[in-house]
Each structure stands twice: as structure tokens, then as C-alpha cells.
Amino acid sequence: MSKARALSGIQPTSGSFHLGNYLGAVRQWVELQDSHDTYYCVVDLHSLTSGVDPVKLRESTLASVAQLIALGIDPEKSTLFIQSHVHAHNQLGWVMECLTGFGEASRMTQFKDKSAKSGSDRTVVGLFTYPMLMAADILLYQPQYVPVGEDQRQHIELARDLAIRFNSSYKDIFKVPEGYILKAGAKIYDLQDPTSKMSKSAESASGLIELLDSSTANTKKIKSATTDAGREVKFDSANKPGISNLLTIHSALSGRSIAELEVEFDGKGYGDFKGAVAEVVTSHLDPIRERTNELLQDKGELTRLLKIGAEKAAAVADETVRLAYDALGLIPRG
Ligand code: TRP
């Protein structure tokens, strides 16, 4: 039997992924590779919605691909590609925009939050239509599952609605995908503000563990993580969010249970515990950083892998566009 298809995307927002991206998403993408027919896309076009620095975009797109491979996405198992390499995303994106109601798009909470922050004159239209491009990213590949974080639930819902709308208005072409909401257990919080999710958009980078940062920098951040006035290493996210977050991080990387760690650190101070967390984190990240740097030194090989990925992706995506265009009455070029 053929494997069910899963597709996901990640933005190349900056030079390095952080631990939250890895534990919250990419690690599960890696696991899905054996059981599913996986498509993973670095969504560079989506990044154009938040201000463009061409030098940085170029760098961070390649660094994202290299990090995905270093983290275990295997280009032989998965179709790994860059969104802008497959023109079908823009083609179907427009179709999705023409199927979406203005009010419907206005209700997307991520758009509302982001545009409220920057004001309507500084918000680009692309941010408004972002969910329709995302729907195209998904529907082009006819996946059964879309593994994403909880924050993307509404976007997946829109993609499903648009698939159903197209299928019932024109022709039954699109598979209606299911969100595959990633385990909340792997939710990683900011080290300085352990009640907010670890995120690139945090005010300060000091709460962020970046995959490509030096061990020294990450150790320093972990040692200065916010804790509480108590002294017990215990999981209690309401009263001890900082310590709970560090326990989650340790457990996620070491594979040991939180209960086991609580016993091990019983009676030891926060200093010892933080030292152990730093050790686990850096010993995991060192080889990933080295592998990423090696890959980035061989641009020729990265380009070759991306070309293969784009060709595989385009073969599927172009066929979907052909079917959709035809169903809409657009005349083929002949
Ligand atoms: N919007 C997603 C995020 O910010 C990224 C994304 C774009 C995506 N296209 C996608 C995720 C398609 C899954 C499928 O995380």
C-alpha cells in the first residue's frame, strides 16, 4: 500500500532555527519520513510579507535547507524543496484568493494580530493573502496530513474550506487535508520569559536557543534563564514555568522522563540543574551545527539536491494546477 502523504512548510525567517522549531516541529517531520510520503518546503515567498533584506533572505533560505538536512530530513526520503522554485504555488495561490471571501480572510487571527501591531499602512497586502498562498502550498500536493503547530490550526481550516468549496463548485480535484497538530509536550518557551513561546519575534534574543549559535553562547543563555525563588527542580508550569521549561528541554533531548529528572536533581541546586541542561543541549547541537556548516560550504551539492526536490515537487504541483485550471475553464496553451 502506498504511504499517506504529509506536507509541511517552514519560513526561512532568519539565519538559524531555534530549539522550539526543532523540538516543536522539525523533529516530528523527521519521524514522519519513514511512515509517510513526506514533502517539506522552505516557504521563501511567505517571508516576503515581513520586509525583505535580499542578502539575508538568500543566506537564511540556504541555511534553512542545510539545517533541515542536518536535523535529519533526508532528501532521499523526503521531497525537500524551496517554494519559489515551483511556480505552481503562485498559480494556485491566485485561484485560492479568488475563492476566499474578504470577510473570511479578515477573520484570520494571525493577520489580525500582526497587522494590529504594525498598523494598516505598514501592513502589506501579502500578509492578508498569506493564508491563501499557504492553502495553495498544501492543496497542490494533495496531502492527507499537514503537520503544524497549534498556531496554524486556523490556516489549515481555511485550506480545508477552500478545497471543499472548489470541489463542490467546479470539480472534485482536491484532497481535503487534515491538520496533524504537533504534540504540545514539545512546546518550548522563551528562557527569559517562560510564559511565552520561544520565538524569533521575542524582544530579546537572550531567551532563544539558536541551533547555529556557539556552545558558549547557548550555555550562557541557559545559565541565565529565568527561574523562581524556590529551590526545587520540579515540573509545575503554573508556578515554576522556567524550571518546567528547562525540564521539558532536557527531557526532549535526553529522552529521559521528567519524573526521572526530578529524582536525579532532588536536593541539588538550580545551578547544577542548569549546568546539566546546558550540557545536554550543547552536546546535541554541536554535531548539528557542524553538519550544517559543512553543507553550507558545498553550495553545489545543496543546489543539486534542491533541483531534484523542485523537479519532484513541480511534477505533482503542475499536474494539480492543470486540473484546477481546466476545471475553472481556463484554456490550455496547447
Ligand atoms: N504559515 C506556516 C507557519 O508560519 C508556514 C507555512 C507556509 C506552512 N506554508 C505552509 C505550513 C504549508 C504547512 C503547510 O508556520
pLDDT tens across 26-74, in order?
A: 999 999 999 999 999 999 999 999 888 999 999 999 999 999 999 999 9
Q: How far apart are CA 78 and CA 60, in angstroms?
A: 21
Please name the amino acid found at residue 6.
A
Amino acid at 18: H
Instruction: Write phi, then psi, for 110 (nearest 5 degrees).
Output: -65, -40
Q: What is the pTM of this model?
A: 0.93
Distance 180 CA to ligand 1 centre (A): 13
- The letter for the amino acid at 301 is E
What's the pLDDT at 117? 87
Asked if 155 contacts 108 with a C-beta cutoff of 8 angstroms, the reply is yes
Range name among 116-130, 165-179, 230-244, 262-276 with the lowest pLDDT average:
116-130
Active site residues: 114, 197, 200
The residue whose C-alpha atom lies closest to atom 13 belonging to ligand 1 is: 8
Atom 8 in ligand 1: residue holding the nearest Cα: 9
The CA–CA distances, whole Å, from 328 to 96, 102, 136, 142, 236 equal 12, 20, 15, 18, 55
Please state, in angstroms and as integers, the Cα–Cα distance from residue 150 to each residue in 84, 168, 277, following that order: 25, 28, 26
Instruction: Give ligand 1 pocket residues (Cβ under 6 A).
Output: 7-9, 11, 43, 46, 134, 137-138, 146, 148, 152, 155
CA–CA separation, 321 vs 310, rounded Å? 15
List the beta strands (DSSP E) in the chain. 5-10, 37-42, 79-82, 145-148, 178-181
Task: Using the mean position of ligand 1's atoms as its centre, give its distance from the Cα of residue 264 in Å.
Answer: 39
> Which residues in 244-255 are b (16+ Cβ under 10 Å) and which e?
bbbbbbbbbbbe
257-303: pLDDT as tens digits? 999 999 999 999 999 999 999 999 999 999 999 999 999 999 999 99
Q: Which tops the pLDDT comparison, 297 or 114?
A: 297
Q: What is the pLDDT of residue 120?
A: 79
Pocket test for ligand 1, best of 13, 46, 78, 89 (most atoms within 8 A of CB): 46
**CA 284–ligand 1 middle distance (angstroms):** 26
Atom 15 (ligand 1): residue with closest C-alpha? 10
- pLDDT confidence of residue 293: 96
CA distance 7 to 143: 6
pLDDT tens-place string over residues 177-234 = 999 887 765 689 999 999 998 988 787 889 999 999 999 999 999 999 999 999 999 9
Residue 43 Cα, ligand 1 centroid: separation in angstroms? 7
For residue 185, the model assigns a pLDDT of: 55
H/E run at residue 244: helix 241-254
Report the mean per-residue pLDDT for the chain.
94
Pocket perturbation via mutation, ligand 1, pick of 39, 78, 133, 137 by most ligand atoms within 8 A of CB: 137
* pLDDT tens profile 61-98: 999 999 999 999 999 999 999 999 999 999 999 999 99
